[in-house]
């Protein structure tokens, strides 16, 4: 399933953030908060769709849940970082699992940051704004 979240008119040329989460409420909330901060968002409900969107749209940053049915976020992150065309796209992992092992696995897969759910919207926007200028 792929859906494009609405874009605010003032962000027509802003950075694109791909939001990936199988929980529609979380996905919509994260996309909305990022849009309010001036980012354009594209959303996906699963890892396979996320990989397709990453390849086709080359987002500026990915915010992704770890635990999803089918292909999980760690697998998506490994795959995108194994491809030279998408390896430089920063990833922020989200998860309700906050054990040391889960956090380490997120970083080993290539994620730049890890946020535990429930996500603090201010912290998320701060991380996105901090990571995006490093790509410029």
Strand-strand pairing, 2-3 and 16-20: unpaired
pLDDT at 102: 85
What pLDDT does residue 97 have? 81
- CA pair distance 50, 44, nearest whole angstrom: 6
**Is the model's pLDDT at 136 over the cut of 50?**
no
Strands (E), the chain: 2-3, 16-20, 40-44, 61-65, 91-95, 113-116
Q: What is the end-to-end Cα distance of the chain in Å, rounded?
A: 31
User: Taking a C-beta distance cutoff of 8 angstroms, is the pair 17, 128 a contact?
Assistant: yes
- Predicted pLDDT of residue 12: 54
Q: Which of 80, 54, 55, 77 is nearest to 66 (CA)?
A: 77
Residues 6+ apart with CB under 8 A from 49: 1, 2, 20
Read off the pLDDT of residues 61-113 as tens digits, 9 standing for 90 and up.
999 999 998 899 999 999 999 999 999 999 999 998 878 888 999 999 999 99
pTM of the predicted model, to two decimals? Answer: 0.87
Q: Does pLDDT of 129 surpass 60?
A: yes
Tens digits of residue pLDDT in 20-40: 999 999 999 999 999 999 999
Confidence label for 7 from pLDDT (cuts 50, 70 and 90): very low
Distance from C-alpha of 19 to C-alpha of 4, rounded to nearest angstrom: 10
The H or E element spanning position 124 is helix 121-131
The owner of tokens 């970083």 is 107
């Amino acid at each position: 399933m792929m859906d494009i979240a609405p874009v605010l008119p003032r962000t027509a040329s802003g950075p694109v953030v791909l939001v990936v989460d199988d929980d529609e409420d979380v996905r919509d909330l994260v996309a909305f908060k990022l849009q309010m901060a001036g980012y354009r968002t594209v959303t996906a409900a699963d890892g396979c769709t996320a990989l397709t969107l990453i390849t086709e749209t080359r987002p500026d940053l990915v915010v992704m849940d770890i635990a999803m049915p089918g292909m999980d976020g760690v697998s998506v992150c490994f795959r995108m970082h194994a491809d030279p065309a998408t390896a430089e796209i920063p990833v922020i992992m989200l998860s309700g699992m906050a054990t040391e092992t889960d956090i380490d696995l997120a970083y080993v897969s290539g994620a730049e940051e890890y946020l535990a759910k429930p996500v603090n919207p201010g912290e998320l926007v701060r991380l996105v704004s901090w990571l995006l200028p490093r790509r410029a």
